[in-house]
C-alpha cells in the first residue's frame, strides 16, 4: 500500500479504483487528507488508517477513475452558450428556423439573438442557411447570428449585415470568406474571420454575467465527472482576457473548483512579454498554459487547408483547398517568439496541409535548439498524411484530439474527402507512432460528455446508428488507452502529470465515481453503446465532493 501523512479526512472504500499508476494499477480503497491522496490499497489497509473524525464512504463496488480532463474546451463560449439559443438538437432546417422564430419573440429591444450548434450534415443537406431564411423568422429589426456547430462559420440575418456594414462591395477580410450569390450579394453565410465583422458588434457579457456563466458551466462539468480543463482561445478574439479575469475572480472567492490551464491567443503575446510571464504561472487551480495559433478552418465549413481539393458537390465547381487563416511565415514567427518567451505552442490544424506546415515549423524550432518547457501540441490533427503522422512522436508533439468529432464528422468526411477519410482521426495510428494523446471535446463544437468521447474512441460509431459497423474500425483504441488520454495523457499535455491524472499517494485527490464498471462491460454491451450511457455519480476535486447524484 502507498501512504503518506497521518489520519485521513476521507476514505472511499469497497470500490474498484483504477489508478493510472503502473506500479499499482488497481485498488479497493483510498484515503484523502488535506486535498491530496494519502493512501491507496485494500479496504483493510486503508480503513485501518481512519481516525475518529474520518468520513467513510462505502462505494458498493463502483468504479473510481482519476478525475477526467477535457483537454480542449472553449470554456466561456460553451458556458455562455448554455444561456443562448441551442440549436444542436435540430435535425432539420425547418426545426432550426422554428427554434430561432420562438427565441426571437423573447429578445428585448436593442438586443441580439445569438444561437449556436446547428449542422447541415445532420439534416442530410449540404446547403448552408441564408439571411433570407433567418429574416423570415426573426423579422427585419432583431439582429441575429447563428453559429454552425464547429464555430468556424455562421449565418446572420439582414439586420446583422446592415449593422456590420456588409454589402456586395465589402471585400473578404484576411482569413475569412463572405459567401455571395450569383449577383455578388452576401448570402448571409460567413466563414472563419468574416464572422468577426458581425460578432464585434454584439455587446460583450458583463463581469457578473460571465461569472455566473462560468459557475454554471463548472457545475455542469462536475456532473460529467470533469475535474480539469485546458481552456482554448479563438482566432483574434477577445474572449481570453474576459475569461481569465472571471476565473481569477472565482479563484479569489474560493469558488473555482476546477483545474484550468488557460491558453493565450497569439495576438496577445505582447502582454506576456511586457509582464515577463511564463507558461505555468499560477497555482494548482488556475495557470497559464500554451500560446494558441490557428492554421486553418474546419472540415464542415469547408475551410480546412488540404493538400488535395475537397470533393466537388456540383459539376463545374472550382477546386477548393480550404483556407489558410494565418500565413505560414507569420505562424513561424509566432512559434519562435512564443518559445523565446517561455511558452509552448498549441496550434489548431484540421487539414493535412495545415498539419504538415505546423510540423515543418516545429522541426525548424528543434533544429534551432529551441525547446519548449512542456510539449508543443497540435489541436485536432484531424486529417494527416500518412507520411507526416510519425513526425508527431519524433518531434514530441502532443496530438490533442477530440474523439467525438470522428463520429460527428464521418458523414461530412465521406462526402467531402471520400476515401481520404482513412487519414482522419487516426487514434490507433497516432499511439502506434509514439505520439502523446490527449482527449477533449472542443465544446461548444461538440458534447463535452467524456463518456460519449470514450465511446467514440473505442467504438467509432454514433450511438443512434448502432449496431452499424465502426467507421474505419482499425483506428479504434482500447478503453484503457482512451481513459489514459482523458486523464494522465491530458495532464502530461499541460505539464500537470505530477499533480493530477492518476490516483496515488501525494497527488491531488481529483476523482470521479462512475455508475458502472466500464472494464467489466462485455464486448456486446460496449458495441451497443454502454460506455456512452455511463454517468458520474460523484465527483471530487481536491478531496471535496463537488457533485453527488
Report the pLDDT value the prediction gives residue 315, as an integer from 0 to 100: 87
Residue for grid cell 453503446? 529
Using alpha carbons, select from 442, 531, 529 the residue that is nearest to residue 88.
442
Residue for grid cell 455587446? 203
Mean pLDDT of 150-175: 93
Which tens digit of pLDDT belongs to each residue from 99-142? 999 999 998 888 899 999 898 888 988 899 999 999 999 998 99
Is the pLDDT score of 168 beyond 80?
yes
C-alpha cell at position 527: 458495441
The model's confidence at residue 185, banded by pLDDT at 50, 70 and 90, is very high
Query: Is the pLDDT higher at 157 or at 234?
Result: 157
Query: How far apart are the C-alpha atoms of 534 and 380, rounded to whole Å?
Result: 25
Query: How far apart are the C-alpha atoms of 424 and 385, rounded to whole Å?
Result: 9
What percent of the chain has a predicted confidence (pLDDT) above 90? 86
The model's confidence at residue 179, banded by pLDDT at 50, 70 and 90, is very high
Contact status, residue 35 vs residue 76, Cβ threshold 8 Å = no
The model's confidence at residue 526, banded by pLDDT at 50, 70 and 90, is very high
Query: How far apart are the C-alpha atoms of 66 and 69, rounded to whole Å?
Result: 9
Report the pLDDT value the prediction gives residue 377, as an integer from 0 to 100: 98
Which tens digit of pLDDT belongs to each residue from 23-76? 999 999 999 999 999 999 999 999 999 999 999 999 999 999 999 999 999 999
Contact status, residue 225 vs residue 65, Cβ threshold 8 Å = yes
- Looking at mean pLDDT, say which of 111-125, 183-197, 246-260 comes out highest: 246-260
Contact status, residue 504 vs residue 2, Cβ threshold 8 Å = yes
List the alpha helices (DSSP H) in 90-229. Answer: 93-104, 131-138, 158-164, 196-199, 207-223
Q: ∠ CA(97), CA(98), CA(104), 5° rounding?
A: 85
C-alpha cell at position 281: 504561472
Which tens digit of pLDDT belongs to each residue from 339-380? 999 999 999 999 999 999 999 999 999 999 999 999 999 999
Mean pLDDT of 391-404: 97
Is the pLDDT score of 237 beyond 90?
no
* Helix or strand run (H / E) with residue 79: helix 75-81
Helix, strand or coil, per DSSP, at residue 520: helix
Mean pLDDT of 444-473: 96
Mean pLDDT of 216-225: 98
* Helix or strand run (H / E) with residue 541: strand 536-541
Mean pLDDT of 380-395: 97
Q: Which CATH architecture has domain 75-199?
A: Roll (3.10)
Report the pLDDT value the prediction gives residue 533, as an integer from 0 to 100: 98
Average pLDDT, the chain: 95
The model's confidence at residue 1, banded by pLDDT at 50, 70 and 90, is low
Under CATH, what is the fold of the domain 2-67+507-548? Urease, subunit C; domain 1 (2.30.40)
Mean pLDDT of 517-535: 97
Domain boundaries, the chain: 2-67+507-548, 75-199
Domains 2-67+507-548 and 75-199 share a fold: no
Mean pLDDT of 276-286: 94
Confidence (pTM): 0.91
Helix, strand or coil, per DSSP, at residue 192: strand
Amino acid at each position: 500500500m502507498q501512504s503518506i501523512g497521518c489520519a485521513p479526512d476521507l476514505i472511499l472504500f469497497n470500490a474498484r479504483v483504477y489508478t493510472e499508476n503502473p506500479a499499482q494499477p488497481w485498488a479497493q480503497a483510498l484515503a484523502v487528507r488535506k486535498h491530496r491522496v494519502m493512501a491507496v490499497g485494500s479496504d483493510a489497509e486503508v480503513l485501518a488508517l481512519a481516525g475518529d473524525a474520518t468520513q467513510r464512504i462505502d462505494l458498493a463496488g463502483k468504479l473510481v477513475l482519476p478525475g477526467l480532463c477535457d483537454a480542449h474546451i472553449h470554456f466561456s463560449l460553451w458556458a455562455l452558450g448554455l444561456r443562448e439559443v441551442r440549436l444542436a438538437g435540430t435535425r432539420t432546417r425547418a426545426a432550426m428556423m422554428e427554434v430561432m422564430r420562438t427565441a426571437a419573440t423573447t429578445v428585448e429591444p436593442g438586443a441580439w439573438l445569438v444561437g449556436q450548434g446547428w449542422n447541415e450534415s445532420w439534416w442530410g443537406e449540404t446547403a448552408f442557411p441564408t439571411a433570407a431564411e433567418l429574416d423570415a423568422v426573426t423579422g427585419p429589426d432583431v439582429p441575429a447570428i447563428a453559429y454552425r456547430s464547429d464555430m468556424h462559420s455562421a449565418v446572420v440575418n439582414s439586420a446583422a449585415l446592415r449593422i456590420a456594414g456588409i454589402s456586395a462591395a465589402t471585400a473578404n477580410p484576411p482569413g475569412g470568406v463572405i459567401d455571395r450569390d450569383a449577383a455578388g450579394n452576401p448570402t448571409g453565410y460567413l466563414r472563419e474571420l468574416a464572422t468577426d465583422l458581425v460578432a464585434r458588434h454584439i455587446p460583450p457579457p458583463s463581469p457578473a454575467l460571465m461569472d455566473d456563466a462560468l459557475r454554471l458551466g463548472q457545475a455542469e462539468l462536475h456532473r460529467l465527472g470533469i475535474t480539469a480543463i485546458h481552456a482554448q482561445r479563438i482566432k483574434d478574439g477577445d474572449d481570453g482576457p474576459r475569461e481569465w479575469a472571471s476565473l481569477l475572480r472565482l479563484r479569489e472567492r474560493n469558488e473555482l473548483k476546477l483545474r484550468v490551464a488557460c491558453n493565450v491567443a497569439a495576438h496577445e503575446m505582447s502582454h506576456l512579454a511586457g509582464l515577463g510571464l511564463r507558461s505555468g504561472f499560477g497555482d494548482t487551480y488556475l495557470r497559464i498554459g500554451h500560446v494558441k495559433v490557428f492554421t486553418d478552418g474546419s472540415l464542415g465549413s469547408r475551410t480546412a487547408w488540404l493538400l488535395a481539393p475537397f470533393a466537388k458537390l456540383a459539376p463545374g465547381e472550382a477546386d477548393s483547398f480550404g483556407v489558410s487563416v494565418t500565413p505560414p511565415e507569420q505562424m513561424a514567427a509566432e512559434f519562435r517568439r512564443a518559445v523565446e518567451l517561455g511558452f509552448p505552442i498549441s496550434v489548431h490544424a484540421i487539414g493535412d496541409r495545415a498539419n504538415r506546415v505546423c510540423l515543418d515549423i516545429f522541426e525548424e524550432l528543434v533544429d534551432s535548439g529551441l525547446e519548449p518547457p512542456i510539449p508543443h501540441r497540435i489541436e485536432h490533427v484531424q486529417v494527416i498524411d500518412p507520411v507526416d503522422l510519425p513526425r508527431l512522436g519524433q518531434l514530441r508533439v502532443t496530438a490533442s484530439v477530440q474523439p467525438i468529432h470522428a463520429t460527428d464528422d464521418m458523414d461530412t468526411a465521406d462526402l467531402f474527402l471520400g476515401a481520404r477519410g482513412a487519414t482522419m482521426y487516426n487514434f490507433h495510428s497516432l499511439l502506434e507512432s509514439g505520439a502523446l494523446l490527449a482527449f477533449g471535446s472542443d465544446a461548444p463544437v461538440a458534447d463535452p460528455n467524456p463518456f460519449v468521447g470514450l465511446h467514440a474512441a473505442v467504438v467509432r460509431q454514433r450511438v443512434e446508428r448502432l449496431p452499424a459497423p465502426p467507421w474505419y474500425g482499425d483506428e479504434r483504441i482500447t478503453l484503457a488507452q482512451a481513459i489514459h488520454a482523458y486523464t494522465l495523457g491530458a495532464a502530461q499535455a499541460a505539464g500537470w502529470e505530477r499533480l493530477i491524472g492518476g490516483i496515488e499517494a501525494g497527488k491531488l485527490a481529483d476523482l470521479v465515481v462512475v455508475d458502472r464498471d466500464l472494464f467489466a462491460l462485455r464486448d456486446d454491451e460496449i458495441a451497443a453503446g454502454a460506455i456512452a450511457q455511463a454517468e458520474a455519480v460523484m465527483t471530487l476535486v481536491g478531496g471535496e465532493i463537488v457533485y453527488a447524484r
